[in-house]
Amino acid sequence: MVFSFFKKQAQKMPERQMAKPRPLQPEVASPKPAEAEADLPAVALPDLEFTSAAAPAGARTTAISTPATIDEASVRTDINFSVEDFDADFTESSVMGIDVEHGGDAIQSDIEHVVVLFANGQDAAARSLLESFVQSYPGTEGKRFWFLLFDLLQANGDRAAFDKLSADFVEACEMSPPPWRAEVPTLVKKNPGEKLFVLQGVLTEEGAQPVAELAGLAAQKIAVRVDCGKLVGCDDEVAGELAELLSKARRSGVALTLTDIDPFIERLNERMVAGDASHSKSWLLLLELLQRHGSQEAFEERAVDYAVTFELSPPSWENVAGAVVKSVLSMPPQDGAHYLSGDLKHCRFDDLITLLETEEQPVLDFSGVRRMDFFSAGQLVNRIAPFKAAGKDVVIRSPNHLIAELMAVVGLNKQARIIVPKS
């Protein structure tokens, strides 16, 4: 893929001169060829020049071929969901079809550049380019850029800029803008009799009563949802207690679910420095949290650091059914869809295998997903492709335009039907 940072104004392309091959050179004596090649005439080929484009900065490569164009036929809407008014709320993604008769190649190159920047967390650069592109592509030709910019402002919570863009959109495209969407509460699977529990502040050995209470509930095999949104940190002793508690609960299948834990994991991860053996119990807590909420790649990287630091064999990655994985959050009974939420980073989607194997028509709802990185998009292709090849129909519902375009870049639209909300 080739990404251009600066958009040139449309202009007539100069007529290219036909390349003329150089005259064939006289045959030159050469060593005797192999017997299989003895009857082949010696031909001098004309000089040809090839160029290759580097991958965009920051993009992580995957074992996936990126299509130059998108197969519009691979994204259909003839699907019957259990919700009667589904067709009134969702439609075939307009971003999946590329009009090659109107500068499609240039538009697609710019689209790909923007969505990869956003996937890598480079929002300011993506926004700057989009603000330029909505001016460079006039009228309805540039609607894809408008919708991308709307979704970027929505993802960043910039309501004032969103409203200003809406007025500009009406004037430029002569149609109603998409509405600002109120934040949708995260949908989570509720277990019968589940208790709510809060861990907050900095937990120390002197104030570790909440951890003891949590351990008591787990010992009684009571389902608990632990809110960690206000958990700032903990000392090594409490870290050891939490690590042991979470490990036992995970292996015994006790429904102990941690919510809003990612900020705490990031702070803990930054504290653990390879070679510093002063926080052994905090290392164990970090590895347990990565086992539950991180990717296997991130877990194994830190496990190696643990082994180097303590000269001990680290814990091994375990595929445990009771582990809580952050991607698939629920399967509400009203429509049977599997909901994903938040920022999907370094996800391998191991938890989707059972779903894809057992559901006749799996539906993945992305309405709560703010961002998905390039690596995760590629891994989702790898997960779904074998089931697509076996004839299974997989539906990805309600990604925002930035995510939908990224899915097209990695070829996910050839493995699943992608449906976005009507704008």
pLDDT digits (tens, 9 = 90+) for 57-113: 443 333 333 333 334 333 333 333 333 333 333 334 434 433 333 345 788 899 999
Kindly tell me if the per-residue pLDDT of 164 is higher than 60: yes
* Measured distance CA(340)–CA(16) in Å, rounded: 50
Give every CB contact of residue 34 below 8 A, 6+ residues apart in sequence.
none
CATH dotted code for 328-421? 3.30.750.24
| Residue-wise pLDDT tens digits, 398-421 | 999 999 999 999 999 999 999 987
Please report the pLDDT score of residue 402 as a whole number.
96
Model pLDDT, residue 335: 60
Higher-confidence position of 118 and 54: 118
pLDDT at 141: 72
State residue 183's pLDDT score. 55
Of 22 and 346, the one with more pLDDT: 346
Residues with Cβ within 8 Å of 10's Cβ and at least 6 positions away in sequence, in order, are 103
Q: What is the 3-state secondary structure (H, E, C) of 274-302?
A: CCCCCCHHHHHHHHHHHHHHCCHHHHHHH
11 confidence band (pLDDT: 50, 70, 90) = very low
Q: What is the pLDDT of residue 5?
A: 42
Distances (CA, A) of 416 to 37, 74, 88, 216, 386: 47, 8, 21, 45, 11
**Cross-strand pairs, 197:** 226
Q: Which pLDDT score is estimated for 78?
A: 37
Q: In CATH terms, are 195-310 and 328-421 the same topology? A: yes
157: DSSP letter: T
Give one word for 175, left, alpha or beta, with left for phi > 0 and alpha for psi -120 to 50.
beta
Band of pLDDT at residue 115, cut at 50, 70 and 90 = very high
Residue 111: DSSP 8-state: H
Nearest 5°: the CA angle 344, 270, 285 is: 80
Buried b (16+ CB within 10 A) or exposed e, 234-264: bbbbbbbbbbebbbebbeeebbbbbbebbeb
pLDDT in the model for residue 322: 35
pTM of the predicted model as reported, rounded to 2 decimal places: 0.48
pLDDT tens-digit map of 191-248: 455 688 888 888 888 777 888 888 888 888 888 888 898 888 899 999 999 999 998 8
Tell me the C-alpha distance between 323 and 354, whole Å. Answer: 14
In the sheet with 256-259, reading across from the earlier edge strand, the strands are: 195-203, 224-234, 256-259
Under the banding of pLDDT at 50, 70 and 90, the label for residue 140 is low
Cα distances (angstroms) measured from residue 281 to each of 21, 177, 264, 310: 71, 53, 16, 11
Residue % of the chain over a pLDDT of 70: 67
- Is the pLDDT at 390 greater than 90? The verdict is yes
Counting beta carbons within 10 angstroms of the beta carbon of residue 131, is it exposed (0 to 12), middle (13 to 18) or buried (19 or more)? middle
Question: Which distant-in-sequence residues (6+ apart) come within 8 Å of 273 by Cβ?
Answer: none
The per-residue pLDDT for 2 is: 46
Q: Look at 178-182, 352-356, 403-407 and tell me which has the smallest mean pLDDT.
A: 178-182
Smallest CA-to-CA distance from 328 within 308, 311, 351 is with 351
Is residue 47 over pLDDT 70? no
Spatial contact of 395 and 144, defined as CB atoms under 8 Å apart: no
Q: What is the pLDDT of residue 147?
A: 94
For the chain, percent of residues with pLDDT exceeding 90: 35
Least confident of 52-61, 218-227, 267-276, 347-356: 52-61
Is the pLDDT at 153 greater than 60? The verdict is yes
Contact 324, 297 (CB under 8 A): no
Reported as half-sphere exposure (CB side, CA atoms, 13 A), residue 156 has a value of 18
Q: For residue 422, what pLDDT is reported? A: 67
Q: 37 pLDDT band (50/70/90 cuts)?
A: very low
Query: What digits encode the pLDDT tens for the residues 293-350?
Result: 877 788 889 999 999 999 988 888 876 433 333 333 333 434 677 888 888 888 888 8
54 pLDDT tier (thresholds 50, 70, 90): very low
Architecture of the domain defined by 195-310? 2-Layer Sandwich (3.30)
Q: What is the mean pLDDT of the chain?
A: 74
- How is the chain split into domains, by residue range? 195-310, 328-421
- The answer to whether residues 375 and 62 touch, using CB atoms and an 8 Å cutoff, is yes
